Amino acid sequence: MKKLLIQIAFSLFIMISIFPQDNFNPVGIWQGKLNISPAVQLSIVLHIDKKDDGTLSASMDSPDQSAYGIKVDKITVTQDSLHFTVIAIAGNYSAGYNKDSLMLVGIWSQGAYSFPLNLKKTDKVEEVKRPQLPVKPYPYNDEEVVFENKIDSIKLGGSFTFPKEGNNFPAVVLITGSGWEDRDETIFNHKPFLVIADYLTKKGFAVLRFDDRGGGASTGNMTKATTLDFVKDVKAAVDYLKTRKEVNQNKIGLIGHSEGGMIAPLVASERNDIAFIILLAGPGLTGEEILIRQTELISKVGGIPDQEIEKNVKLSKSIYAELRKSKDS
């Protein structure tokens, strides 16, 4: 009996040695947080599949940035490490497999920046919960609308919400910040304009928010547009509100966030039918000062040495000085 138990124990030892429980198998879903700074973390999801020919393919998601299915161009795996490259965003990830924590412990590099990124295997991607987001069905009217910027011959698609009862509502146009934004100004799975529109509509306002030109339900070219082009888009939005029978023509206002906080005053200064404007984190500096300050702060977060930051800031100032001397073309 004792001999039999020894044989069984020996057999189990052999099986565990051949098939270790903590053996690194890269195939599956890996999830973790990209630690950009103590205050900023981005969720990252890595999908690794094994193709019929035995080679690996992969893609990654950045849910907080609403970026999904980003192609991984090259992935290399050893018995205890993983490396992959994403050409589209100039990104690289190198990690070692920690058998104790069963995690990939590594560094994500993108351009001149490098940040810690540890990934753990999971059966299901953790869903991002945003409890402040309103859930359909809404207790008010919500219409998909399209209006035209006739000057630039583009169509702008958005959402028009207004209370179910009554009419002659005060109305607002929500104006997004810099960079392409959708009608909800979605960022990191937050939808601030959806939340604001929901609140205002419940309080008796009609609200128009729309996708920036060049994306979503809107046509046009975002890459060639300037702030003055966005001014024309907002003017078209105001003109559209004036065609709606639900809107009080004398109570149309603008709410602008970030760059939208610069666009709103420009629109109001050129029209006499804007009843009010509200600026959310609008710029209090010149565009040049903002860009230089942003460069400085982003570099500090990325761990760039102060001497290098100072050099880059000086270069930026000299470039802007030359641009001021040049004539518009």
Reference 238, options 282, 268, 197, 278; nearest CA is 268
Q: Are residues 236 and 316 in the same domain?
A: no
pLDDT score of 126: 77
SS3 of the chain: the string is: CHHHHHHHHHHHHHHHHHCCCCCCCCCEEEEEEEEEECCEEEEEEEEEEECCCCCEEEEEEEHHHCEEEEECCEEEECCCEEEEEEHHHCEEEEEEEECCCCEEEEEEEECCEEEEEEEEEECCCCCCCCCCCCCCCCCCEEEEEEEEECCCCEEEEEEEEECCCCCCEEEEEEECCCCCCCCCCCECCECHHHHHHHHHHHCCCEEEEECCCCCCCCCCCCCCCCHHHHHHHHHHHHHHHCCCCCEEEEEEEEEEECCHHHHHHHHHHHCCCCCEEEEECCCCCCHHHHHHHHHHHHHHHCCCCHHHHHHHHHHHHHHHHHHHHCCCC
Mean pLDDT of 207-236: 96
Q: Are residues 87 and 212 in the same domain?
A: no
**What CATH number corresponds to the domain at position 202?**
3.40.50.1820
Structure-token pair, residue 214: 């060049």
pLDDT score of 204: 98
pLDDT higher than threshold 70 for residue 249: yes
Task: State the Cα–Cα distance between residues 235 and 223, nearest whole angstrom.
Answer: 20
Q: Which domain holds residue 165?
A: 141-280
Q: Are residues 239 and 259 in the same domain?
A: yes
pLDDT score of 257: 98
Say if CB 199 and CB 207 are below 8 A apart: no
**What CATH number corresponds to the domain at position 63?**
2.40.128.120
Mean pLDDT of 6-19: 40
Percentage of residues in the chain having pLDDT higher than 90: 70
Domain assignment present for residue 1? The answer is: no
pLDDT higher than threshold 90 for residue 45: yes
> Is 0.85 topped by the overall pTM?
no
pLDDT score of 172: 98
In Å, how far are 26, 143, 224 from 228, measured between CA atoms?
A: 50, 28, 11
What letter represents residue 113's amino acid? Y
Better-predicted residue by pLDDT, 242 or 22: 242
Domain assignment present for residue 235? The answer is: yes
Averaged pLDDT score across all residues of the chain = 89
Look at the chain and report how many structural domains it folds into.
3
The pLDDT confidence band at residue 303, using thresholds 50, 70 and 90, is confident
pLDDT in tens, 70-120: 999 999 999 999 999 999 889 999 999 999 999 999 999 998 788 999 999
pLDDT score of 329: 60
Domain assignment present for residue 133? The answer is: no
Cα Rg of the chain, angstroms? 27
pLDDT in tens, 257-280: 999 999 999 999 999 999 999 999
pLDDT score of 21: 43
pLDDT score of 256: 98
Q: Are residues 161 and 103 in the same domain?
A: no
Evaluated on CA atoms 192, 195, 201, 204, the torsion sign reads negative
Task: State the Cα–Cα distance between residues 22 and 1, nearest whole angstrom.
Answer: 32
What letter represents residue 209's amino acid? R
pLDDT score of 16: 36
pLDDT score of 22: 56
Q: Are residues 253 and 303 in the same domain?
A: no
The pLDDT confidence band at residue 326, using thresholds 50, 70 and 90, is confident
The pLDDT confidence band at residue 305, using thresholds 50, 70 and 90, is confident
Task: State the Cα–Cα distance between residues 38 and 294, nearest whole angstrom.
Answer: 18
pLDDT in tens, 121-173: 998 887 778 889 999 999 999 999 999 999 999 999 999 999 999 999 999 99
pLDDT in tens, 166-195: 999 999 999 999 999 999 999 878 899 999
Q: Are residues 228 and 145 in the same domain?
A: yes
